[in-house]
Amino acid sequence: MSTTLLWWGLAALTLAGAAVVLLTREMMRMIIGLGAFLLGIAGLYAWFGFGLLAVAEVFVYVGGVLVLFLLAITAMGRDSDSRAIARHFDIGAAVICAGLSVVLVLALRGLLPASAPVAGVTVEKTADALLGAWLPQFEIAGVVLLAGLAAALAIVQGGDDE
């Protein structure tokens, strides 16, 4: 009972955060909303029993990406966006998105039984998997991150020849 309640609470947090990200005009509020969303997601991960993942999520996303966004907004003086749902296109996009959600649910319906937390997902087991069976993928992930770092530097660096 209480797990279900917890789930609903986390879900509400997540959705509220997402809604703010989508709809608000001011950038600062959007950052807050994104933060709320990410925390909600982390909470849900934890609810499912994936503790390591939840913590990693908070560190990386909330601590890293969100701060990066915040830096971008404040350093470049991005203040506010246009009003949400301002043009016909917005309504069309809303329809498409609603349609997407419906269609996805219909497509994946049969494959997922009731959501329930799971136990026994320990850090040790994850480490075994990552550095054992999935070592190549792990290494490649490292390379990808490095490439991303280099790319970001290159993009910011170049483009002075206008």
Partner 1 sequence: MSLLRSAPYLVVLVPLVVAAALAAGIRVWGRASAWVALLGPLTLLAVGVASLGGRTSGSLTWLRVGERAIVVGYNTDALAAVMLVVVGVVAACVMVFSIGYMHGDRGYVRYYALLSLFTAAMAGLVIAADLVSLFVAWELVGACSFLLIGFWYEKPSAAEAARKAFMVTRVGDAALLLGMAVLWRATGSLDLAVVLGKAGSMAPAVVTAAAICVLLGAMGKSAQFPLHMWLPDAMEGPTPVSALIHAATMVAAGVFLIARVWPLFAAAPASREMALVVGTITALGAATVALAQRDIKKVLAWSTISQLGFMFAALGAGAWQVAIFHLVTHAAFKGLLFLTAGSVIHGSGTQDLREMGGLAKRMPITAACWIAGAVSLAGIPPAAGFFSKDLVVSSVLHSAPWAGVALFAASALTAAYAARATRLAFFGETRSDRPAHESPWIMLGPLVVLGVGALVLGVVGGPLASDLGTAFEPLSLPIAGTAIVLALVGAALGWRSARPEAAAQELSDSWRGLTRAAFSGWGVDAFVTRFVVRPATAIARATDAMGDRLLIDGIAEGVASLASRVGGLFAEVQSGDGQWYAALMATGVVLFIAAAVWLVR
Partner 2 sequence: MTTLVLACVIVAAGLYGVLTRRDLVAVLASVEVMLGGASLLLVAYAAAGTTPAAGQGYALFVLAVGAAEAAVGIALLVSLVRRGRSRTDQITEVRG
Residue numbers at the binding site for partner 1 (CB under 8 A): 89, 92-93, 96-97, 99-100, 103-104, 106-107
Cβ burial 125-154 (10 Å sphere, 16+ → b, else e): eeeeeeeeeeeeeeeeeeeeeeeeeeeeee
> Which one of partner 1, partner 2, none interacts with residue 62, CB within 5 to 8 A by kind?
none
User: C-alpha angle 121/122/125, rounded to 5°?
Assistant: 95
Residue 67 within binding range of partner 2, rule CB under 8 A:
no
Q: Which is nearer to partner 2, 2 or 120 (CB)?
A: 120
In the complex, what is the shortest distance from the CB of residue 144 to partner 2, in angstroms, rounded to a whole number? 6
What is the footprint of partner 2 within residues 95-114 (CB under 8 A)?
96-98, 100-101, 104-105, 108-109, 111-114
Largest CA distance in the chain: 63
User: C-alpha angle 128/132/134, rounded to 5°?
Assistant: 105
Tell which one of 1, 2, 159, 161 touches partner 2 (CB under 8 A).
Answer: 159
What is the footprint of partner 2 within residues 26-55 (CB under 8 A)?
27, 30-31, 34, 37-38, 41, 44-45, 48-50, 52-53
Residues ≥6 apart with Cβ < 8 Å to 41: 14, 57
Give yes or no for a contact between 41 and 14, defined as CB atoms under 8 angstroms apart: yes
In the complex, what is the shortest distance from the CB of residue 30 to partner 2, in angstroms, rounded to a whole number? 6
In the complex, what is the shortest distance from the CB of residue 104 to partner 1, in angstroms, rounded to a whole number? 7
In the complex, what is the shortest distance from the CB of residue 103 to partner 1, in angstroms, rounded to a whole number? 5
CA separation for the pair 160, 121 (Å, rounded)? 50
